[in-house]
Amino acid sequence: MIPDSLTQIQYDTVYNVFSLVIASQLFTAIFIIVSLKRILPRYRQAMTVAAIVCAIAAYHYFRIFDSFKAAFVTEAIGGAGDYVQVAGASFNEGYRYVDWLLTVPLLLLELIAVLALARKVQTSLLYRLIPASALMIILGYPGELSGDNAVRGIFGLLSTIPFAYILYVLFVELTKSLDRQPASVRRTISQLRLLLLLTWGVYPIAYLLPMLGIDGSDAWVGKQVGYSIADILAKALYGLIIYKIARMKSFADDPAFARLELSVDEADEMISSTNARRN
Amino acid sequence: MIPDSLTQIQYDTVYNVFSLVIASQLFTAIFIIVSLKRILPRYRQAMTVAAIVCAIAAYHYFRIFDSFKAAFVTEAIGGAGDYVQVAGASFNEGYRYVDWLLTVPLLLLELIAVLALARKVQTSLLYRLIPASALMIILGYPGELSGDNAVRGIFGLLSTIPFAYILYVLFVELTKSLDRQPASVRRTISQLRLLLLLTWGVYPIAYLLPMLGIDGSDAWVGKQVGYSIADILAKALYGLIIYKIARMKSFADDPAFARLELSVDEADEMISSTNARRN
């Protein structure tokens, strides 16, 4: 639950971290949109989705930021510089779930889309990943809202089932479809899946904290910082790695494009390395 | 620390300088994005990063501006025209650190990217510069927040180590990789490094002021003006010099492009001079 008061340092930390998320998501979105011409047209759809995901996250953090500012006022009388919760106000944690409901399926879509697999394989993967990801978010929500640890536990457990299924699809099923990707792309996809596992893993940990009795203002600040950093890594950094994959695939697909986009030395290196390692 | 009151002149000075920073950064970002077609595709990625750096800085100065306006109110009763600090309010110096955490690594990235060195050399330089620059900002932050001069001194000193390392990489290591650049580009890079040294040097000086006992409202106003001018030079002017390098390299790479972009006389001069001086 939201704490009754925050010190100046706690308040500023949350404030600055929320602002950091807004800046990271908003400018990653703009960077990707401005950079669309730096990849071949066939990968621009995936990158547009990546930019939209970051833009949606920026929008929701503007809302979260406002909700936070409205929930606390400085304790003017006494001038201690501390912040107390506005009577009756609450910090709207629900914005995060609305954000995830939109962005998490899109994060999986951008990953599959950038690989440009055969249409049948793409469709099959997406029909499994997208409903599972929506289910994961929807099942977590009632637990987040409930003050009851038993309810929280049950919905947390239910939500973990589609999460485990997503990991199975990404780490087992997807691997079978990667044999036609250049080796450098396969390596980057492995890093991307690891990033996804580590950052998505932050959410269940934050979800568990109240059940472990870790509460109070420090835990609350820690949770907000944890969610924020996980959101930056899982959307902005993730989008930039997808962009890197789209660049590598563009150069591998079309050496003439690589020569336009890279210096002579770089283009030669890139072309020879992707050709040599391609299966 | 933030002063208890400001005179009308002090208040207006800070207000106008913050507005100057917003205008400089925002319109440099727009100028660079609109001008992307004035350079060859291979340099557009570096220039997009330069534009994003200025846009991120503009965003943070909007926030700093709002934080400043919220921290002071005019003392209406008495009508002295002076501004007093709002009870319990604080000017959020933390925004600067959030800004630098994002922009300083990107400033180094745009410098290396525009040189279009061989991929191995680029990677090696960036793997050293980017972590060092993030470390430099992160180590400065606890000192900035602390009211204790000893803590400030320790973190200031720790933060200087990665700064010195960055200067070493830029002035010693980078020089070894410049032999294939046109002579005019090498000269401009030397100017750019000097600008970086001079503008980045402002930050440790401002950081030291409270330790030297220079405090009070004049010192605070001086610090805000100093940071602001350093930010304009280190991001907007720096980005424009990188743009100049990208233009020179574009013309050297492709005389046909130079003939499109320049007058006949200019193009002839440019082409003959870059060819003559190229190693």
Burial class (CB in 10 A: 0-12, 13-18, 19+), B52: buried
B257 is written with which tokens? 């492009």
Is the confidence at residue A56, as pLDDT, over 70? yes
Q: State how far the alpha carbon of B232 is from the alpha carbons of B29, B227, B267, in Å.
A: 12, 9, 31
Residue A39 predicted with pLDDT over 90: yes
Amino acid A6 reads: L
Q: How far is CA A202 from CA A11, A147, A197, A209, B248, in A?
A: 22, 21, 9, 11, 47
Question: Looking at residues B95-100, what average pLDDT do you find?
Answer: 91
Any idea which residue has 């929930």 for tokens?
Answer: A71
Residue B7, classed as helix, strand or coil, is coil
Region B87-92: mean pLDDT is 72
Average pLDDT over residues A87-105: 86
The pLDDT value recorded for residue A279 is 44
Tell me the helices (H) and strands (E) count for chain B, helix number first: 11, 3
- Tell me if B94 and A16 make a contact (CB, 8 A cut-off): yes
Q: Which amino acid is at A4?
A: D
Cα of B226 to nearest chain A Cα, Å: 22
| Contact across the interface for B116 and A263, Cβ inside 8 Å | yes
Joined tokens for residue B147? 């009211």
How confident is the model at residue A76, as a pLDDT?
Answer: 54
**Which one-letter amino acid corresponds to residue A250?**
S
**B89 to chain A: which residues are within 8 Å by CB?**
74
Looking at CA atoms only, how far is residue A80 from chain B in angstroms?
7
Residue B94, chain A, CB below 8 Å: the answer is yes
Tell me whether residues B98 and A16 touch, CB distance under 8 A: yes
Q: Model confidence over B138-149: pLDDT tens digits?
A: 999 888 877 788
What is the Cα–Cα distance from A131 to A162, expressed in whole angstroms? Answer: 9
Closest-CA distance of chain A to residue B42, Å: 4
| Cβ pair A9:B95 closer than 8 A | no
Strand partners of residue B267: none
| Chain A residues within an 8 Å CB radius of B98 | 16, 19-20, 23
B102-119: average pLDDT: 92
Q: Checking phi first, is residue B86 left (phi over 0); if not, alpha (psi -120 to 50) or beta?
A: beta
CA–CA distance, A133 with A169 (Å, rounded to integer): 12
pLDDT for the residue numbered A4: 82
Select from A23, A34, A80 the Cβ nearest to the Cβ of B102: A23
Q: Quote the percentage of chain B above a pLDDT of 90.
A: 57
Interface pTM, i.e. ipTM: 0.90
On chain B, the residues whose CB falls within 8 A of the CB of A24 are 102
Strands (E), B96-225: none
Cβ of B42 within 8 Å of Cβ of A76? The answer is: no
- A87 pLDDT above the threshold of 80: no
- The Cα–Cα gap between A49 and A42 comes to 13
Residue of B nearest to A270 (CA): B119
For the beta carbon of residue A18, count every other beta carbon within 10 angstroms: 22
CA A190 – CA B95 distance, rounded (Å):
35
- pLDDT surpasses 90 at B232: yes
How do residues B123-137 score in pLDDT, each as one tens digit? 999 999 999 999 999
- Can you tell me the distance from the alpha carbon of B228 to that of B124, in angstroms, rounded to the nearest whole number? 32
Mutation pick from A7, A22, A27 vs chain B, by most beta carbons of B within 10 Å, is A27
Contact B42 A81 (CB under 8 A): no
Per-residue pLDDT tens for B5-64? Answer: 888 899 999 999 999 999 999 999 999 999 999 999 999 999 999 999 999 999 999 999
pLDDT digits (tens, 9 = 90+) for B153-210: 899 999 999 999 999 999 998 888 888 888 888 999 999 999 999 999 888 888 887 7
Percent of chain A with pLDDT over 90: 59
